[in-house]
Amino acid sequence: MNILFIADPLESFKIYKDTTFSMMRETQKRGHQVVACKMTDVRWQQGEVVSAQVRDITLTGQADAWFKQTATRRANLKDFDAVIMRTDPPFDSEYFYATHLLSQAEREGAKVFNSPAALRNHPEKLAILEFAQFIAPTLVTRSDADIRAFHATHGDIILKPLDGMGGMGIFKVGADGLNLGAIIETLNRDGAQTVMVQKFLPGIAQGDKRVLLIGGKPVPFCLARIPQGGEVRGNLAAGGKGVAQPISARDREIAETLGPILAARGLMLVGLDIIGDSLTEINVTSPTCFQEITDQTGCDVAALFMDAIEAAL
């Protein structure tokens, strides 16, 4: 099979931890052709179908020069056996436009994972609102007064922008309210931007768990991302330490409830963020942590993913 990965520039990959790299490695291991491009390489023109300037590559097994480019060509997305969308957030206007191009490719016959429509319909912070039975006390608002009232009720709170990634722009405010006004001004910009506010969960000390769903089923191990050095953020990008562990009974309850629903909407791969017993985010753009889980447990997450892709084709 020929499998196209739409991803960030190959030269930027940190292959010791990159999930897209692990997917590519498993793809080649199974005898399939690995093809790559950036979203900026994709185009549609009247009289044509959606196409991209792509790179045929071979993985070398080396740490530095990890791939060899064997050809470049323009190819129609519908002619690939699968198109795997792995462009990292932020989910900005350009990402939104990209999902519309990929939806057009789907109408022309392309098989895109995750579904572009599902990517549009599941913003990673707001998607949890549908599953409120599993979340901590949460407020979504532009209102300064609403945020202050929420703080007065819950004391320790977390504030975050809706378009952040990797822990970017997350603030904790204690019961004393120190700097709350300045943080509100920074995040909501005089009511111009919507903010998510959540009750602080002390369980973060044991890690912000990344629970993976593949084809609607939970991977049996998660990665607990544990804050380090006085941080409240467990994100690996913010310096968190990743510790793989079996998923808990509560993790499984959440995953088995959401999994079939999200899979039916075209979300082949989902990363649930769970702190303690509470769901905090639903990641659908380019969920990570494959390599960390595999390296620490022996559970081959990339193989589970490719099994699901092959079964879907």
Name the catalytic one among 114, 188, 235, 283.
283
- Residue 172 known to be catalytic: no
- Residue 225 known to be catalytic: yes
Name the catalytic one among 106, 124, 208, 281.
281
- Residue 160 known to be catalytic: yes
Question: Is the Cα torsion angle 296, 85, 213, 164 positive or negative in sign?
Answer: positive
What's the one-letter identity of residue 78? K
Name the catalytic one among 86, 225, 235, 251.
225
- The residues, any chain, with a CB within 8 Å of residue 61's CB and separated by 6 or more, are none
- The residues, any chain, with a CB within 8 Å of residue 63's CB and separated by 6 or more, are 15, 16
Kindly list the distances between the CA atom of residue 52 and the CA atoms of 37, 168, 171, in Å, as whole numbers in the listed order.
7, 31, 40
- Residue 281 known to be catalytic: yes
- Residue 43 known to be catalytic: no
CA gap 304, 90 in Å, rounded: 26
- The residues, any chain, with a CB within 8 Å of residue 206's CB and separated by 6 or more, are 224, 226, 276
- Residue 121 known to be catalytic: no
> What is the biggest distance separating any 2 CA atoms in the chain, rounded to whole angstroms?
62
Name the catalytic one among 111, 233, 235, 251.
233
β-pairing, 112-113 with 82-85?
A: parallel
- Residue 30 known to be catalytic: no
Contact (Cβ atoms closer than 8 angstroms) between residue 86 and residue 6: yes
Name the catalytic one among 106, 188, 210, 235.
210
- Beta-carbon neighbour count of residue 37 at 10 Å? 22
Which backbone phi and psi does 98 adopt, to 5 degrees? -60, -40
Name the catalytic one among 25, 125, 199, 209.
125
- Residue 79 known to be catalytic: no
Reference 127, options 279, 6, 277, 253; nearest CA is: 279
Name the catalytic one among 25, 86, 111, 160.
160
Which backbone phi and psi does 312 adopt, to 5 degrees? -85, -15
Residue positions annotated with a catalytic role = 125, 160, 210, 225, 233, 273, 281, 283
